[in-house]
Amino acid sequence: MGRRVTINDVARAAGVSRQTVSRALNDKGEIDGGTKQRVLDAAKELGYRPSRFARGLVRQDSTTIGLVIPDLLNPFFTEVAAGALEAARARGWHVIVYDTADSTAEESTLAVAVSQVDAVVGYFSLGESELDGHLTGIPAVLIGREHHTPRFSSIRVDGRAGIREAVGHLVARGHTSIGMLDHAGRAGPSPRHDWFAGAMTEHGLPAHLVGNAVQSVDGGAEALHELLGRHPGLTAVLTYNDVIAVGALKAARRLGRIVPDDLAVVGFDGLQLGTVVDPALTSVALDTTRIGALAIEQAGRLLHGDPLLPDEELQVDGVLVVRESA
Amino acid sequence: MGRRVTINDVARAAGVSRQTVSRALNDKGEIDGGTKQRVLDAAKELGYRPSRFARGLVRQDSTTIGLVIPDLLNPFFTEVAAGALEAARARGWHVIVYDTADSTAEESTLAVAVSQVDAVVGYFSLGESELDGHLTGIPAVLIGREHHTPRFSSIRVDGRAGIREAVGHLVARGHTSIGMLDHAGRAGPSPRHDWFAGAMTEHGLPAHLVGNAVQSVDGGAEALHELLGRHPGLTAVLTYNDVIAVGALKAARRLGRIVPDDLAVVGFDGLQLGTVVDPALTSVALDTTRIGALAIEQAGRLLHGDPLLPDEELQVDGVLVVRESA
DNA sequence: TTGAAAGCGCTACCAT
DNA sequence: ATGGTAGCGCTTTCAA
């Protein structure tokens, strides 16, 4: 491809200096109408486009945030991403989205990302020291995960109260045999499981009816199948998230169990998706838009050295939303 | 916020020239191990981060594509976006995502986008001349829309054969009273409607049983309600897309119509979403991943002046996927 | 109204 | 192995 057209080429073509071209292009005053038109014509003629690098170098504005998510097709991350995009748009910032797909790509993705963004927010599976290594000092906001180094900032998700609500709701409806479809990460049971266990214990109920699901609709279906195989007496089940819950709904249907009569299902996340399925999903809902927005806001503060959002405000709490499945 | 730390500051702190700093940072050889470490330490100490603008200015690599979509939360666009992200990732390119939300934002979004990307792909509602005005010569790929100016490139969606298949499928199952839930844009009936009408005519069937739906689940539900009110005899309905179809499924259920027995529903797009609902959605499926990938590929060719993909390859055809709803 | 000069922060190239 | 010089393409003083 041919050498790029620079402001000098335009200047030469229009017979003016390059400062004058700059004036014409940026709508500064102090320029003769005719000259301006001549310059604009020349620019168009040559197909001139200002270099964003050169421009960015001198006008030190323009903020770009890297949003790292494991899977855009997972509706939870889609919602968070939408929230982040909206918050960024309101500020005139740009968001580069990186889908790490399988987590093996995370390291190389980060390496690429770091070169083009001012700050990074999102979901990472790497440990903090590895992260720190790849991030070369860029401000970073971790979502849904505690940080232990002052190096990072994070948005916490607290589902304790919401899950307690959910268990209370089920108990009030007479359920005593309540299970959970957890999503076991590398570190064993999830916090959501712990919240579940805590709530169950409060009610004097056993919390050992637990299955593990892969994070997908099919994963949820399979897991419910398996759990019900082990514990046929189960009448209600909480799930790690809505995607898994939708799978559970599907499996229940195949097994001939009517939801919520034969089996109550409570999801987690409160996604739009839950309103689409039948029966509509009861779920411990998170304000996904707010999660994305908080991450952007905090990244901005980190970036500009503004006072950070205090811990309390960096927390998003789950709230039980009762629909039809429980 | 304080002045930014430059390579010169690091050089001074480490007591070397800035070229040496550059060498250390970029892992070039030709540098003493000790010096390198000293530089790296100084850089870390000062919190130095290279300016992406300065770096981009001199190393003229790094490609950034702007992806413009009307609504990331609409699962169709999510899938296309995921396809585009993946294709870009494979090339080491960056994708800035712009969600135009309400189309009123499109113009300002474009203005912002243009300053930070090398090419733009996606869905635009602006006319070609307005687009051209905002795009300042940037390569652009329009998805799902014909272009009439050589200025643009576009990815076409052809659902003619797929919709013909769908109608054939319905007719073979004995349906004769087949309607459509269209999504009327500003320009009247959609191409999808025309394909529907064409297929119906081929079968000697009337194609006037048409309703209009807003692009949302609720919009689809409402529209089916309305259409069925006008034409209670309807036994099958095609929809503009899957999102509307899911709404139709919901409305049918509320109206006590069993799908597919009392009412067959055929969507368009073939989204993942269709496998989640019950009954699973029969749909004229598009390869959404390919749409996104094609847009990226073509943008790259435009960018580098490579021979463009020929028209035939820029087309994505709908294919009937029979699941449960028809 | 226009132009000359300086400089944004970095890397490439040539010396040393 | 290290430093000097030049220059990427643009905008911003400051003069004229």
CATH number at residue B189: 3.40.50.2300
Q: Are B269 and B285 in contact (CB under 8 A)?
A: yes
CA A25 and chain centroid, separation: 38
pLDDT at B106: 87
**Worst-scoring range by mean pLDDT, A31-40, A152-161, B258-267?**
A31-40
Give the CA A58 to C1' D12 distance in Å. Answer: 9
| Rounded-to-integer distance, Cα A35 and Cα A15, Å | 9
| Rounded-to-integer distance, Cα A98 and Cα A81, Å | 11
Percent of chain A with pLDDT over 70: 99
For range A148-175, the mean pLDDT = 96
Tell me how close the Cα of A136 comes to any Cα of chain B, in angstroms.
7
Sign of the C-alpha dihedral computed for residues A234, A235, A240 and A246 taken in this order: positive
Residue B19 counted as domain residue:
yes
Taking alpha carbons only, the member of A271, A294, A296, A297 closest to residue A282 is A271
Burial A29-38, CB ≥16 within 10 A → b, else e: eebeeebbeb
Residue B25 counted as domain residue:
yes
User: Letter for the amino acid at B259?
Assistant: V
> Which tens digits make up the pLDDT trace of A181-205?
999 777 789 999 999 999 999 999 9
Considering the domain architecture, whether residues B173 and B281 belong to the same structural domain is answered as yes
Considering the domain architecture, whether residues B55 and B77 belong to the same structural domain is answered as no
Tell me how close the Cα of B239 comes to any Cα of chain A, in angstroms.
16
Residue A94 near chain B (CB below 8 Å): yes
Considering the domain architecture, whether residues B120 and B92 belong to the same structural domain is answered as yes
Cβ-defined contact of A64 to B116 (cutoff 8 Å): yes
Nearest CA in chain B to A45: B137
Q: Which two tokens mark B282? A: 């029969």
Would you give the DSSP letter of residue A306?
Answer: P
Tell me how close the Cα of B205 comes to any Cα of chain A, in angstroms.
32
Give the CA A41 to C1' C5 distance in Å. Answer: 27
Taking alpha carbons only, the member of B37, B42, B57, B33 closest to residue B8 is B42
Q: Are A245 and A216 in contact (CB under 8 A)?
A: no
Tell me how close the Cα of A82 comes to any Cα of chain B, in angstroms.
6
Residue B78 near chain A (CB below 8 Å): yes
Residue nearest to nucleotide D2 (CA to C1'): B20
**Worst-scoring range by mean pLDDT, A102-106, A120-124, B27-31, B273-277?**
A102-106
On the 0-12 / 13-18 / 19+ scale of CB atoms within 10 A, B312 is exposed
| Residues close to nucleic acid strand D (C-beta < 7 A) | A 3-4, 6-8, 18-19, 21-23, 25-26, 48-51, 53-55, 57-59; B 15-20, 23, 29-32, 35-36, 54, 57-58, 60
In the stretch 204-223 of chain A, residues with CB closer than 8 A to chain B read 217
Residue A295 near chain B (CB below 8 Å): no
> Which tens digits make up the pLDDT trace of B78-108?
999 999 999 999 999 999 999 998 767 888 8
Which of A56, A81, A97 lies at the smallest CB-CB distance from B53? A56
Residue B122 counted as domain residue:
yes
Cβ-defined contact of A53 to B57 (cutoff 8 Å): yes
- Band (pLDDT 50/70/90 cuts) for residue B233 is very high
Nearest CA in chain A to B96: A96
- Band (pLDDT 50/70/90 cuts) for residue A146 is confident
- Nearest nucleotide to B30 by CA–C1' distance? D1
| Rounded-to-integer distance, Cα A266 and Cα A324, Å | 10
- Nearest nucleotide to A22 by CA–C1' distance? D11
Tell me how close the Cα of B100 comes to any Cα of chain A, in angstroms.
9
Q: The pTM is what?
A: 0.94
- Band (pLDDT 50/70/90 cuts) for residue A6 is very high
Considering the domain architecture, whether residues A254 and A109 belong to the same structural domain is answered as no
- Band (pLDDT 50/70/90 cuts) for residue B2 is low
Residue A104 near chain B (CB below 8 Å): no
Q: Are B250 and B217 in contact (CB under 8 A)?
A: yes
Residue A36 sits in a domain whose CATH number is 1.10.260.40
Considering the domain architecture, whether residues A51 and A70 belong to the same structural domain is answered as no
DSSP string across A39-61: HHHHHHHHT----HHHHHHHS--
Q: Are A266 and A235 in contact (CB under 8 A)?
A: no
For range B217-246, the mean pLDDT = 97
Which of A115, A136, A276 lies at the smallest CB-CB distance from B277? A276
Last residue of a domain, one of B22, B39, B59: B59
The full length of chain B comes to: 326
Taking alpha carbons only, the member of B92, B8, B95, B93 closest to residue B50 is B8
Considering the domain architecture, whether residues A169 and A240 belong to the same structural domain is answered as yes
Tell me how close the Cα of B265 comes to any Cα of chain A, in angstroms.
16
Which CA distances in Å does A73 have to A268, B83, B98, B161?
17, 10, 17, 28
Total tally of structural domains belonging to chain A: 3
Tell me how close the Cα of A181 comes to any Cα of chain B, in angstroms.
18
- Show Cβ contacts of residue A76 under 8 Å, excluding neighbours closer than 6 positions: A241, A242, A243, A269, A271, A288
Q: Which residues pair with A154 in a beta bridge?
A: A142
Instruction: Kindly determine whether the C-beta of residue B108 is less than 7 Å away from any atom of nucleic acid strand C.
Output: no
Percent of chain B with pLDDT over 90: 83
Q: Strand D: which positions are within 7 A of a protein CB?
A: 1-5, 7-13
DSSP string across B226-248: HHHHH-TT--EEEESSHHHHHHH
B1 pLDDT higher than 60: no
Considering the domain architecture, whether residues A140 and A255 belong to the same structural domain is answered as no
Cβ-defined contact of B96 to A99 (cutoff 8 Å): no
User: Which residue range(s) make up the domain with B38?
Assistant: 7-59
Give the CA A12 to C1' D16 distance in Å. Answer: 21
| Rounded-to-integer distance, Cα B244 and Cα B215, Å | 6
- Helix or strand (DSSP H, E) at A180: strand A178-182
Q: What angle, rounded to 10 degrees, do the helices at B33-46 and B7-14 form? A: 120
In the stretch 150-189 of chain A, residues with CB closer than 8 A to chain B read none
pLDDT at A246: 97
Last residue of a domain, one of B44, B59, B74: B59
| Rounded-to-integer distance, Cα B49 and Cα A120, Å | 14
Give the CA B57 to C1' C12 distance in Å. Answer: 13
Residues 28-87 of A with CB under 7 A from strand C: 29-32, 34-36, 54, 57-58, 60
Give the CA A118 to C1' C5 distance in Å. Answer: 31
Would you give the DSSP letter of residue B314?
Answer: G
Considering the domain architecture, whether residues A166 and A256 belong to the same structural domain is answered as yes
pLDDT at A239: 98
Considering the domain architecture, whether residues A167 and A104 belong to the same structural domain is answered as no
Taking alpha carbons only, the member of B73, B102, B67, B77 closest to residue B269 is B77
Vertex B276 angle, CA B272 and B278, to 5°: 135
pLDDT at A1: 47
Taking alpha carbons only, the member of A189, A300, A200 closest to residue A240 is A189
CA dihedral defined by A44, A48, A52, A54, rounded to 10 degrees? -130
Which of A62, A97, A278 lies at the smallest CB-CB distance from B95? A97
Q: Are B282 and B70 in contact (CB under 8 A)?
A: no
Q: Are B237 and B210 in contact (CB under 8 A)?
A: no
Percent of chain A with pLDDT over 90: 83
For range A234-256, the mean pLDDT = 97
- Show Cβ contacts of residue B115 under 8 Å, excluding neighbours closer than 6 positions: A52, A55, A62
Residues 3-22 of A with CB under 7 A from strand C: 16-20
Q: Are B239 and B269 in contact (CB under 8 A)?
A: no
Cβ-defined contact of B89 to A75 (cutoff 8 Å): no
In the stretch 117-156 of chain A, residues with CB closer than 8 A to chain B read 117, 136-138
Residue B207 counted as domain residue:
yes
* Mean per-residue pLDDT of chain A: 93
Residue A79 near chain B (CB below 8 Å): yes
Cβ-defined contact of B275 to A217 (cutoff 8 Å): yes
Considering the domain architecture, whether residues A199 and A134 belong to the same structural domain is answered as no
Residue B277 near chain A (CB below 8 Å): yes
Residue A95 near chain B (CB below 8 Å): yes
Using DSSP, how many helices (H) and how many strands (E) does chain B show? 13, 12
Could you check whether the bond before residue A260 is cis, i.e. omega within 30 degrees of 0? Answer: yes
Considering the domain architecture, whether residues B154 and B165 belong to the same structural domain is answered as no
Last residue of a domain, one of B21, B39, B59: B59
Considering the domain architecture, whether residues A189 and A226 belong to the same structural domain is answered as yes
Neighbours of A53 (CB within 10 A): 18
pLDDT at A2: 57
User: Letter for the amino acid at B219?
Assistant: G
Q: Are A300 and A306 in contact (CB under 8 A)?
A: yes
Residue B322 counted as domain residue:
no
